[in-house]
Amino acid sequence: MKSWISHHRHSLAESLRRLGGAPLANLFNVLVIGVALSFPLGLYLGLSNLQALSARFSGDPELGIFLAADADKADASQLEARLKAHPAVARARFVPKGEALEDLKRATGLADLVETLGRNPLPDGFVVLPKQRDPRELAGLGREIAGWPKVAHVQLDSEWAGKLDAILRLGQGLVLLLAGLLGFALVAITFNTIRLQVLTRREEIQVSKLIGATNAFIRRPFLYFGTLQGLAGGGIGLLLLYAGPLFLNRSVAELARLYASDFRLLLLSIPDGLAVLGFSAALGWLGAWLSMARHLREIDPR
């Protein structure tokens, strides 16, 4: 057991020595790995920030119901009673057209322009809070109410959030695809690096086999080297990923203040960062193992 631990310690030290023995070449390899990892990670982080922004501004979904121009108070009262009795409606509030016009003035800051219209162009309406948040059920409720008498139009206020969620789901699929492609590139980089090392130490490996060294014994330093290279590349990728939001947050904060918000770009969480390091180290190990599995079969000790 002691000899096994000793050889692992020696293999790790040897791998560190090799990393330092060709600093420029290894630095470029690590930078390439780090930049490659930063692309899917940056896209993933961007999607996370968009999801947080969507959740902040979408709020509870509401239905805006606009009455027909010829609807009178009796029609509005009947519609209100029908809405409140509907099993899918949690709350319904009547919004007279005068109140809607004042809300429009406050929201847009175009009070002077609205005054030049001479009359109120807005209809009476209702704001309905449904009991369900499922997009399909909300769409069905909107279609049902749109068919009622004296209802001119039904607007789902959170439609944009649903569309954004669909775009984000597509983006998540693209992140997985990009991560897979760049993960393959990381394995290929490590494979080629280990191949070059094996070629330069071919005679040493042949001698080791002649004196009885097992493939696992010969392979171990190279596996450590690939793992350390992948780990270092993951660290570079995380540094780039943390530097980006920190650099952009000042501009984002200034933009958010214009919309009376305190939104800031989210950073990658510690568990996600550790997962990235583990993933990059595992890919480096895999590339080294594949390279050694191929070349050990080709090296004849005789």
pLDDT mean over 216-226: 82
Number of residues that make up the chain: 302
Q: H-type helices in 201-214, by residue range? A: 202-210
pLDDT of residue 46: 76
Q: H-type helices in 60-134, by residue range? A: 73-85, 97-108, 111-115
* Sheet architecture: strand order including 89-95: 89-95, 125-130, 63-67, 151-156
| Ranges 19-33, 44-58, 132-146: which has the least confidence | 44-58
pLDDT of residue 40: 80
Q: Are 79 and 67 in contact (CB under 8 A)?
A: yes
pLDDT of residue 283: 85
Digit-coded pLDDT (tens) for 159-205: 555 666 677 677 777 777 777 777 787 788 788 877 777 777 777 77
All domains in the chain, ordered by first residue: 2-57+162-298 (no CATH), 60-157 (3.30.70.3040)
How far apart, in whole angstroms, are the C-alpha atoms of residue 254 and residue 264? 10
pLDDT of residue 247: 76
Digit-coded pLDDT (tens) for 40-88: 877 777 777 776 666 555 556 778 888 887 888 888 888 888 888 888 8
Instruction: Give the closest residue to 151 by CA, choosing from 141, 137, 164.
Output: 141
Average pLDDT of the chain, as a whole number: 76
Q: Are 231 and 284 in contact (CB under 8 A)?
A: yes
pLDDT of residue 200: 72
Digit-coded pLDDT (tens) for 111-128: 555 555 556 667 888 888
pLDDT of residue 108: 54
- Looking at per-residue pLDDT, the higher value among 268 and 81 belongs to 81
pLDDT of residue 163: 66
pLDDT of residue 302: 54
pLDDT of residue 49: 72
Digit-coded pLDDT (tens) for 279-289: 888 888 888 88
**Predicted structure pTM score:** 0.59
